[in-house]
Amino acid sequence: MHYKKQLAAVAVAAALGLIVTGCSGGSGSTSDGPVELSVWTGFTGGDAPGYEQIVKDFNASQTKVKVTMSAEPWDTIQQKLPSAWMTGQGPDIAAPASDPNVIAQYVKTNSVLPLTLTGEGASKINVKDFAPALVNEFTYDKKLYAVPANYATLSLYYNKALFTAAGVTPPTTVAELKDAAKKLTKNGTYGLVLADNNTIQMWPVLQWLEGGDIVNQKNCSVLDSTAGRDSLKPWVDLVVKDKISPVGLTGAEADALFSAGKAAMEINGPWAAPGFKSAGIDLGIVPVPVSTSGKPVTLGSTAPLAISAKSKHPQEAQEFLAYWTGATAQKKFSLSTGFPSLRTDLADDADLKANPVVSVFASQVPDSRLYLPQVPNATQIDTDAYVPLIGSLTRGTSIDEGTSTASKKLNELSGCTTK
């Protein structure tokens, strides 16, 4: 299942349940018992057992601290956590959203704890062993406010049976990808399903493959530039004219089509592999094809793990984050979930290299890019500018009109005043 907040009719009711099931002000310990820490996450997909195992192993490794983790819908957490943390309610630790940019909002309200238990050794958060982009993403005013709960890249999933039947080989270039998408669209089967809402973003990857981008270094939109428009047009045409994908798919709907054998390809993260395999798909996974310039690129994705500024146990909470991101826990997590390691010192680990799923996703880490990293109001830019842009273009709005409208909204949200 794709990582992104999904609207749910029961979100408010479920969230109210969260408010009474533990809080940073109420977590603690009896005089003769361990410190108790609560953790909220939205990890409910096929990778959930991997996160649960980290907690189990941590609890078994010592007797001072007991961690209880609960998984709830991302939108439930996002609705209730801001006010809960500001008032001293909610968990000691949380993954506030699947969007790493959301940490900025909690920094502004002084709701998250700056992390100071950093350094070398298993008892500390080994920041120097994280991918630099992950450290930068969670650092504000030279203070680290979160650690990566995971790190994932997007790869190209394909249905081997459909490829064989069509006489198509896995694409290695963006030109081959577009050609394969058209050839595989037939007899009620889609060549490449492209979700455009309630999903981890894949359209930016398509733009990057074509030499385009979303913002420049000044956080101003380049969607309406020549390169921006040209990077969108071929993919919009493939959806609108060649019907390689239905319009308006959520991530879950795109996954369902691929799982049902109704789509030949999908760009997705490692969390999707268990579900596709259990659905009986003859599954192949390859790196995202190289761009028009011949260079590889894909999306890198991470969810933040942060501590409430009002937790009564900041030391113990940081010790847990040190364990979560430590080499032992992360190697085990990668082997069980297929995720590449968030630690650079595990890049050459023989066991991880030998794993057929991990190796594909890990091979793309050096060429991966985060989506709108530290762009002001990035989360709102996604929901109010970029997602509506793709939705309008695939429903017939002209490239010029769509990118002009989206750029105005983006610049308004990012604070851009000049290019």
Task: Please write the tens of the pLDDT for every residue from 319-363.
Answer: 999 999 999 999 999 999 999 999 999 999 999 999 999 999 999
Are the beta carbons of 310 and 89 closer than 8 angstroms?
no
Residue of 119, 37, 13, 50 whose CA lies nearest to 335: 50
Contacts of 372-375 spanning 24+ positions with Cβ under 8 A: 372/101, 372/214, 372/215, 373/100, 373/101, 373/133, 373/136, 373/137, 374/101, 374/104, 374/136, 374/137, 375/101, 375/215, 375/219, 375/414
The region that residue 294 occupies, defined by phi over 0 for left and psi between -120 and 50 for alpha, beta otherwise, is left
- Measure the CA–CA gap between 163 and 176, rounded to whole angstroms: 13
Q: What is the pLDDT of residue 417?
A: 73
Taking only Cα atoms into account, the Rg of the chain, rounded to an integer number of angstroms, comes to 21
Q: In this structure, how many other beta carbons lie within 10 angstroms of the beta carbon of residue 397?
A: 17
Q: What is the pLDDT of residues 294-306, one digit of tens each?
A: 999 999 999 999 9
What strands lie across the sheet with 152-153, from one edge to the other? Answer: 152-153, 298-301, 368-369
Residue 267 has pLDDT above 60, yes or no: yes
Residue range 170-223, pLDDT digits in tens: 999 999 999 999 999 999 999 999 999 989 999 999 999 999 999 999 999 999
Least confident of 30-39, 68-77, 166-175, 241-250: 30-39
Residue 390 has pLDDT above 70, yes or no: yes
Supply 353's token pair.
Answer: 């290299």
Amino acid type, 286: V
Domain positions in the chain are 35-148+302-369, 153-300+373-414
Given this chain, do its domains 35-148+302-369 and 153-300+373-414 carry the same CATH topology? Answer: yes
- Give the Å distances, CA to CA, from 31 to 199, 316, 320: 45, 16, 21
Contact 74, 98 (CB under 8 A): yes
Confidence of residue 25 (pLDDT cuts 50, 70, 90): low
How far apart CA 279 and CA 261 sit, in angstroms, is: 9
Residue ranges of the alpha helices (H) in 348-393?
A: 350-354, 356-362, 378-381, 387-393
159 is written with which tokens? 């249905």
CATH number 3.40.50.300 given to 153-300+373-414: no
Gap between the terminal Cα atoms of the chain = 37
- What is the residue-wise DSSP string for 248-287? S-BHHHHHHHHHTT-BSEEEE-GGGHHHHHHTT--EEEEP
Tally Cβ neighbours within 10 Å of residue 71.
17
| Dist CA 287 CA 156 (whole Å) | 6
Average pLDDT of the chain to the nearest whole number: 92
pLDDT at 14: 35
The CATH class given to the 35-148+302-369 domain equals alpha beta
**CB under 8 Å to 65, separation ≥6 — which residues?**
34, 35, 36, 37, 58, 59, 313, 316, 319, 320
